[in-house]
Structure 1
Amino acid sequence: MDEIKMEVCVDSIQSALNASAGGANRIELCSALSEGGLTPSIGLYRIVKNKIKIPVHVMIRPSGDDRFIYSDDEIEAMKTDIIIFKENYVDGFVFGILTPQKTINVSACKILLDAAAPIPVTFHRAFDFVAEPFEALEVIIKLGFKRLLTSGQADTAENGCCLIKKLMINFKNQITIMPGGGISEHNLQKILAETNAVEFHGTAKKIPGSRYSQRSTDNSTRIKLIPAKTCISSASGPKINLDGPKLSSSGPILNINSSGKMYSPTTTDTDTVKQMMRIAADVLQQRFL
């Protein structure tokens, strides 16, 4: 292994360009990071694919339902999307489907995997909602997924390091386990050192109006909705924007998505990608000392 690979999750052309310019190994392309990431349009994909040279993996997710349970019609739509992206030379897919019992929906996943073949597929963070993670990962491997994206069933990968490490120990020779969720330049070294992961997933974003990078990955920044009477702005804090995105001269803006959750509109930062790649290189070097 000559490097630890970085996958950057993006939902815009500019973020894709910035990720590529920063040295990322691969991007996960989606739309609506404010909803946790949905299937991108074919138009967005074609422009991104034409403008960057690194592999583009596409999210296949028809709605922002955090249960990751889909109807037969939605599964058919996901299959159709897969076929269309295959016809446009996609490098990989990212999806995951669960049952109401919080197990892997084997039959639905198999339909999509068959449609995607031979393109490699990542099982995304739906895994973080399964009831039995070790049993679920065995199923994921048997189905033929090549990669698992997980925060270790915690709110962030940093807090889920313990489970990620155990998964690495038990399954590292059978599937690539990729930590993701709240990874930034501030905690990357710790996560890679504790888990021995060989890939990681992040957005490398910065909040507009701030010099600090966003501690977020495949899901957008999400915080509990604040009651309206407490939604006040101050010179030292973010402004709550109920009317859609706008620029602010006094700090970052929080917008509200369709689920009533707040998020900050952001773009992947080239310098942050470079910094995270340097951190990963340093960690790899330490592993061989």
Structure 2
Amino acid sequence: MATDKLTIEICVEGTDGLVAAQKGGADRVELCASLIEGGLTPSFGVVHEALRLSHIPFHVIVRPRGGDFLYSKAEFAAMLADVTALRELGVAGIVIGCLTEKGDIDEARTTALVEAARPMSVTCHRAFDMTRDYRAAVEALVRCGVDRVLTSGQRDTAVQGMDILKDTVQLAAGRLVIMACGELDANNIAAVRAGTGVTEMHFAAPKTAKSPMAFRNPHVGMGGDNLEREYELTQTDSAAVARTIAAARD
């Protein structure tokens, strides 16, 4: 039985996901919209409702669009405005990531976001995994004052990235929390924890449910050619959350 402290964060889409993650035993939630794009900033109505419903901390992703992490001046201004608004609402933390065109952490922008966020906790998301040198990125994030980084070890999955995850933990040396992610589930989470030494882990536990809509117009699609997909809901599976957390802590 592992006895050292482990924090489990669940990535969710919207308030229903937050409630399901709480039910499954999560320690913390990352609150997003549009997980199909890797997570975008949720609406402030969603954040207000999350504050009403939550009894665990949640961190809100500040990401204005999908795609890369090289933002225009207008996009970055919007990110700063979102951070300020989230701080004023009393949210526990934010999740950010800005890169330069050469694939380094954008230290000027990251520092500005950290300063705007305080006293909120600040996590750098998997923009870290898109940097050209993860060792240099660790040092840059420490200089910027970021609290933690979410990473799969610069690979598609945490299992594939275990060696880099372990090295990243050692490089951080307690200056930065390393939070492992990347297709973690009940079958692999304990091995990743044991093999890397991380103290925080992050995963989503999605399931697909059919929409209760009885009427479906076959002639109109809202977002592509796959009309059936528009009548499927992505939900957080609280039972899968509980199973994976139990496996991590066994």
Partner residue, 2:243: 275
When residues 17 and 100 of structure 1 are mapped into structure 2, their CA distance, relative to the original with a 3 A threshold, is same
1:266 aligned residue (234, 241, 246): 234
In structure 2, what is the Cα distance between the partners aligned to 1:62 and 1:246?
23
Deviation of the 1:266 alpha carbon: 2.2
Shift in Å at residue 3 of structure 1?
A: 3.4
Shift in Å, 1:125: 0.2
Distance 1:172 1:274, change over 3 A: farther
What residue is the counterpart of 2:64 in the other structure? 62
Alpha-carbon deviation of 1:187? Answer: 1.4
Question: 1:172 & 1:25 partners in 2: Cα distance?
Answer: 23
Inter-partner Cα distance in structure 1 for 2:247 and 2:6: 10
Residue 181 of structure 1 corresponds to which residue in structure 2? 182
Runs of 4+ with deviation above 4 angstroms: none
- Deviation of 1:170 (Å): 2.2
Residue correspondences, number: 235
Quote how far apart the aligned CAs of 1:46 are: 0.8
Range moving further from structure 2, 136-145 or 181-190: 181-190
Could you tell me how far apart the structure 2 residues matched to 1:31 and 1:277 are?
23
Give the TM-score of the pair, scaled to structure 2. Answer: 0.89
Q: Which runs of 5+ in 2 are unaligned?
A: 211-223
Match of 1:266, SS?
A: strand
Displacement, 1:241? 6.7
Q: Which amino acid aligns with 2:246?
A: R
Asked whether the equivalents of residues 3 and 281 of structure 1 are also in contact (C-alpha less than 8 Å), the reply is: no
Q: TM-score, normalization: structure 1?
A: 0.78
- Contact 2:186–2:248 (Cα < 8 Å) also in 1: no
Say whether the 8 Å CA contact 2:190–2:249 is kept in structure 1: no
Aligned match of 1:260 = none
Deviates more, 1:142-151 or 1:104-113: 104-113
| 1:245 counterpart SS class | helix
Could you tell me whether the CA contact under 8 Å between 2:14 and 2:42 is conserved in 1? no
The aligned counterpart of 2:90 is 89
Q: What's the CA shift for 1:120? A: 1.3
Letter in 2 for 1:46: H
- Per the TM alignment, residue 208 of structure 1 is displaced from its structure 2 partner at its CA by 3.8
* Separation (CA, whole Å) in 1 of partners of 2:93 and 2:174: 20
Partner of 1:19: 21
Tell me the equivalent position of 2:206: 205
Name stretches of at least 5 consecutive residues in structure 1 with no aligned partner.
210-239, 248-252, 254-264, 283-289
Give the distance between the partners of 1:243 and 1:101, measured in 2 at CA.
39
In structure 2, the residue matched to 1:8 is 10
Q: Could you tell me which amino acid in structure 2 is paired with residue 89 of structure 1?
A: G
**Residue in structure 1 matched with residue 36 of structure 2 by the alignment:** 34
Q: Distance in 1 between matches of 2:62 and 2:187?
A: 30
Q: CA RMSD in A?
A: 1.7
**Identical-pair percentage:** 36
Cα gap change, 1:241 to 1:190, in 2 (>3 Å) = farther
Contact 2:186 2:245 (8 Å CA) reproduced:
no
Q: For the structure 1 residues 3 and 241, does the alpha-carbon distance in structure 2 shift closer, same or farther, using more than 3 Å as the test?
A: farther
Q: 1:242, CA displacement in angstroms?
A: 1.1
Distance 1:154 1:208 in 2: 29
Task: Tell me the amino acid that sits aligned with residue 135 of structure 2.
Answer: F
Query: Whose helix fraction is larger, Structure 1's or Structure 2's?
Result: 2
Q: Distance in 2 between matches of 1:208 and 1:165?
A: 36
Cα distance, 1:85 vs structure 2: 0.9
